[in-house]
Every structure is written in structure tokens, then in C-alpha cells.
Amino acid sequence: MAEREVLVYPDPRLKEICSPAEIGSEATNNLVQDLIDSMYGSGHSVGIAAPQIGVCRRVAIVDVSHNKLGKKHNHGLVVLINPEIVESSGSKSMREGCMSVPDYTGNVERAREIVVQFTDGDGNDQVIRCKGFEAVAIQHELDHLDGLLFLDRVTNPKTDIFKRKG
């Protein structure tokens, strides 16, 4: 479809809790394609969620396979429609960035391993186990569906948020 403009914090639409997406609808299929086009079009992103392009639906995509941190453990392009984390374990602190918070990064603690259930872009129900960078990326994108940014997860804003160089 089309590469879409990414909303930037403090846009209030980034803080909304998203409604479920209609599986197999033309609107959902178009949204998935717009997310794919927008993520790959950015040249550097490993994920994007529907609210970041102004659509308040529970749809996100993740692909860490092109990033050095995700090369070993990934499922390629993962289209997550109405996703839910059903299991999580461990803990991992990692520096995160976000297209909607372009000037900052921050240290965020997340589960090291997750099991997520969702419907994929072909309308199939899926359950996958993810670990490492892919697990972190999926948790980051799913937060967007609940109106959360990585800034909301930073333990100490004074010591764990960093201005991007550049």
C-alpha cells in the first residue's frame, strides 16, 4: 500500500489503548501492508505498531532478522494481529529506541523469553516462543497497543534516558 508518516511523542494518539483488529478484513490487510512498507521504508526499524501510524487497532509487525542482535534467534517477519503474551520468563535490560521517540533512547527491563499468541497476516492462529532481542522487540511493539512507550518503562528517567547523538 504505502509508507506512512510515523507519529512522534507527545502525540496523544500514541497513548490510546487500541481496539481489536478485524481478522481478514480489507482494512486490516491494508494496515498490515502499510506497517510493512513503513517499517522497511525507515531503513533501520525492527518493528512498528498500528498506533504509530495513527490507527488504533491491535496490529504490529516485527522483523529482527536484519539486525545484528537478532540474526541468531528470529522468526523473520512476524505479523501480529490481536497479539497477547501468554508466558514470560527471565529478565533482560536493554537500550531501546523508537521511531515515535526519535531523539532519545532508554534502558528498559523486559522479559528475556516470551510466548506470544496472535493471528498472522494470512488469518492463521499462531503461538511462538521468542527470546533475546526478538522477545524485547515484540514486547516493545505490544506496549504501543496499550498506549505505552519505552519512556513509560524506564526505571529512572534521570539515569536511564539518553539523547541520541546525531
Cα–Cα distance for residue pair 166/46, rounded to 1 Å: 20
Distances, alpha carbon 86 to alpha carbons 24, 83, 116, 124, 163, in Å:
23, 9, 6, 17, 34
Residues carrying an active site annotation: 141
- Residues for the chain: how many in total? 166
Backbone angles phi, psi at 78, to 5 degrees: -110, 120
CA–CA separation, 87 vs 93, rounded Å?
Answer: 18
- The values of phi and psi at residue 151, to 5°, are -60, -30
Name the residue with cell 505498531: 49
